[in-house]
Amino acid sequence: FLLPLLAAWGPRVSGVLRAPRRRWPVPYRRFDYRPKTDPYCQARYTFCPTGSAIPVMKAEDVIEVYRLQAPVWEFKYGDLLGHLKIMHDAVGFRSSLTGKNYTMEWYELFQLGNCTFPHLRPGIAAPFWCNQGAACFYEGIDDAHWKENGTLVLVTTISGTMFNKMAQWVKYDNETGIYYETWTVQASPDKQSTVWFDSYECSKFILRTYQKLADLGAVFKKIQTNYTSIILFSGEPIYLGNETSIFGPLGNKTLAAAIRDFYSPFKPHQTVREFFVDLVRIIDRVILNHQFYLFYNLEYWFLPMKFPYVKIIYEEVPLPVGSKESFGV
């Protein structure tokens, strides 16, 4: 069940679109509505196939909240990606009044590759992006999926009133935060280094949900919680423009060609030989020539890449602190 309605193509950014100020990290933009998806964009696995509406809970209900985490594509590859700490996050709920369980998560409509890299379509000058992410809510918790190779642990208990307020927030968050952003981009591996861009993916939705519950008065248990981030390391990014200013009739043809050339090795459905040839091209551009073109908030940026270039980390992010006085269960 896709919470936001899919409206006509062409999101309007709230406010006037200008070249971004040099504020770091660049804030993730929220949009007025969700654009209609192009039929060209097809997912190998259907988004949220058993989804349902979020129920309205009775105020006196006591609802258990569970942290859910499992390796990405665990249903297909088991714990393989878990060894690389590439994990997917979700949140579970259990109603004490009805005994029903529910799962809520946020992920890509067209799988990770389409959200991370564009298609270069014949006859279309600009790279074509199949990129949206959304929340999915459905009845039940697949205990085997989350427990076998991952995590299923109680983190807090909330009232039915708090759950209903959270559901209202989820609707707003889902209607305005519509694009998946794979990469975190920062200046160095140091914990205090400058973050240029922050990712917007499944774990960030769970962290936002936990924070909302804390704001509503939830008291979280003191347990360690870790999340996966894919980080690019770069010097200060250079703003290049948007699709119109680069690829439009009055655009920069040299820059447009450079961006298309950069993305060309990242195409899907390759033979083994094509994969290794393109892998060499990627290494040449990103590592040897220190180049990366990032598409963020519908705008293009140049990243002057730095060692160690890219890293997958699995770092602790503490659960938020709630207020016992406002808990009210």
Catalytic site residues? 88, 202
| Cα(199)–Cα(206) distance, integer angstroms | 13
User: Rounded to the nearest 10 degrees, how much is the dihedral formed by the CA atoms of 211, 215, 216, 219?
Assistant: 70
Q: Classify strands 133-139 and 151-159 as parallel, antiparallel or unpaired.
A: unpaired
Give me the sign of the Cα torsion angle 282, 287, 290, 292. positive
| Cα(204)–Cα(93) distance, integer angstroms | 18
Question: Is there a contact between 137 and 55 (Cβ–Cβ < 8 Å)?
Answer: no
Nearest to 95 by CA among 53, 65, 136: 65
Q: Classify strands 101-108 and 133-139 as parallel, antiparallel or unpaired.
A: antiparallel
Location of structure tokens 């007025």: 32
Kindly report whether the peptide bond that precedes residue 320 is cis, defined as omega within 30 degrees of 0.
no
Instruction: List the Cα angle 71/74/79 in 5-degree steps.
Output: 65
Structure tokens at 291: 């180049």
Kindly report whether the peptide bond that precedes residue 25 is cis, defined as omega within 30 degrees of 0.
yes
Nearest to 231 by CA among 119, 308, 124: 308
